[in-house]
Amino acid sequence: MTIETKSKIKSEVFSYVLLTLGSVLFAVGDVMFVNPYLMAPGGTYGLSNVLNTLWPWKISLYAICMDVPLLIIGTLILGPKFGVKTILSTILIFAATFVLESLWGYSPVIHDGAISAVQGQSMVPIPNNGGWFVPDYFLNTVLAGLIYGVAIGLIFRSGATSGGSDIISMILHKYTKISLGTLVMVVDGIITLSTLIAFGNIRLPIYSVIIIFIEGKVINLVIDGMKSYRTMFIITDNPEPVRDYIINNLDRGGTCLTGTGLYKGAERKMIYVTLDRSDMLKLRSELHNIDPRAFVNIMESSEILGEGFRTLPQE
């Protein structure tokens, strides 16, 4: 067996470990943090939380009854773009949620005590468990967003997709040509607003939106890491010192382009370089000494692939 083959096997095994861990974490976030607070931060599991409270039945059973038909319909309409890992993720999340709600129930992890200990505060029923607790909405929302974000980030890093309600957005996108991002927000927004309709409490959709926001930020951190990169476009009449500083002081490469100014038609040099935040600040400061009249455009780069950064994906 070659080294390359061993590396591919090791990478594939690691991806399935990430997939399993992410699926279990997702179940923990949903059963222990989201469902007890009657929230629904999008997706089929968000809608299942609402249905579970209105008509008690297991969250996992509600969700799988939606996920399987959606996968079948999505495959028929969109083609076989849902790989083995997405199907496995659907099964693992269902299994982990089923086990957790069977063993743990729907009791919250974060709360300020039971009804017998506190008087005069807003109480929330524990779904299907018959008890009541005094909620700590903010802390629970933050933790739920963190757990959801790590869970879905790990699932994405494994090569799987979220499936679920996203398939509805993908189908609508095919026929309406509305951007996929807009449709995802619309579908998840409707699911989130269902908590207001079902329970008549305005704070529930608000906290659900906060979960979605935190989740999105954490997903980006899990997928892209803590490093933040900036792409700089530098137009200068003195490109050589800038080039030397990037190569010798920052130990980075870049590209020098030749452009023509629109106003005077003069030929100018433009340096294109991508740096992490600390190196970008160093170069920006040095540019004041090299060419105070330089024109600099700095953009945040969400994903940098290639030599010196993350390797290009094999698939």
Q: Say which residue, 267 or 154, is predicted with more confidence.
A: 154
297 three-state secondary structure: strand
27 pLDDT tier (thresholds 50, 70, 90): very high
Strand partners, 276: 229
Read off the amino acid at residue 200: G
pLDDT reported for residue 61: 95
Which of 47-61, 149-163, 288-302 holds the top average pLDDT? 47-61
β-pair type (267-276, 124-125): unpaired
Q: Which of 269, 268, 277 is nearest to 299 (CA)?
A: 277
Residue pair 89/111 in contact by the 8 Å Cβ criterion:
no
Per residue in 276-297, pLDDT (tens digit) is: 877 888 888 888 888 888 888 8
- Rounded Cα distance between 221 and 140, Å, is 20
* Percent of all residues in the chain with a pLDDT value above 70, rounded to a whole number: 86
Per residue in 90-99, pLDDT (tens digit) is: 999 999 999 9
Q: How many CB atoms lie within 10 A of CB 16?
A: 15
Q: Which of 43, 7, 15, 63 is nearest to 185 (CA)?
A: 43
Domains and CATH numbers, the chain: 3-224 (no CATH), 229-301 (3.30.70.120)
* Lowest mean pLDDT segment, chosen from 84-93, 162-171, 192-201, 240-249: 162-171
User: What is the full DSSP assignment across 118-169?
Assistant: --SS--EE-TTT--EEEE-HHHHHHHHHHHHHHHHHHHHHTT----TTHHHH
Total-model pTM: 0.75
Q: How many CB atoms lie within 10 A of CB 266?
A: 10
